Amino acid sequence: MKEDIKAFLEYLAKKKKCSQSTLAAYRNDLNQLMAYTEAERAKGIIKSTGELLKSYLLNLRERSYSTATVARKVASAKSFFKFMVDSGKLRENPTQNLISPRVSKHPPKFLSSSEYRCLLAEPKKLSTPEAKRDVVMLELLYATGLRASELVSLNVKDIDLERSCVHCAHGSSKRRIPFDHHINQILRNFLENDRLDLLYDEKEKALFLNRRGGRLTRQGFWQIVKNHASKAGLSAKITPQTLRHSFAARKLQSGADLQSIQRALGHAYISSTRIYKQSSSSPR
């Protein structure tokens, strides 16, 4: 199964152009499935793959995973075994009768203008290179609606100060997102001054660097947002995604149409963008 998972991940990367974060999620889910099925087969009790998968689903529920996490792991298994059938390695899909739990969709959480100012005030209290970097990251994310993975994947060359826009790639799609004069100025200052305080290797292309001079990770940025939110006395549930939601809500309030917001966010389907219009919450 290990080699089959490797082939599936290569297919997702080359054919489907999936992002690294998507590939990592599939890899983790399928490796967990493989470990479980191998352990159960070693017991010699359950024989069929279908029975193993039903047992795996029950095990996930017993381990108190959230409904959304269980649904994602089931979806990963379904995609993998569909690939196995399509590639001729299996005759039948053993997940065809596997029922995924229904996930209730909660309205996205937004930051009000005052909440955002409180969040931004935390890194502004400090004069360290990391704090100055954090201010720029928060400002850019709030102004463009980038995904956290997209933000940390930015290279210096992706910032176009002449045209006041950021060039972003997600999977196989590419888009250009404009920003205003304020963001232009803080990015210019960051590139000419503050970024250099974290730079150890002049060949490093990453826009946002960690304290060791390497590219900041998505997990690292997630923790940065959580830490500043906690210090600001804001909800512990605030994440980089909250800033992305806030961008979309502000755009909608300012009169932007759903199609333009869809393009800015990089949504493949307008239904993903429509949730902002349907939600009763909005930034104040």
Report whether 259 contacts 271 (CB < 8 A). no
Same domain membership, residue 176 and residue 77: no
Question: Could you give the count of Cα atoms lying within 13 Å of 166 in the half-sphere of its Cβ?
Answer: 28
Same domain membership, residue 129 and residue 79: no
Residue type, 169: A
Same domain membership, residue 229 and residue 118: yes
CATH code, 82: 1.10.150
pLDDT tens figures, 4-14: 999 999 988 88
pLDDT at 71: 85
**Residue percentage of the chain with pLDDT more than 70:** 92
The answer, yes or no, to whether residue 108 has pLDDT greater than 90, is no
The answer, yes or no, to whether residue 46 has pLDDT greater than 80, is no
Is pTM beyond 0.85? Reply is no
Same domain membership, residue 260 and residue 159: yes
Give the separation between CA 10 and CA 7, rounded to whole angstroms. Answer: 5
CATH code, 240: 1.10.443.10
Is 64 within the bounds of a domain? yes
Is 105 within the bounds of a domain? no
pLDDT tens figures, 151-210: 999 999 999 999 999 998 766 667 899 999 999 999 999 999 999 999 999 899 999 999
Same domain membership, residue 245 and residue 168: yes
Q: How many domains does the chain have?
A: 2
Phi then psi for residue 63, to 5 deg, are -85, 10
Residue 11: domain span: 2-86
Is 92 within the bounds of a domain? no
Same domain membership, residue 204 and residue 125: yes
Nearest to 233 by CA among 106, 109, 114: 114
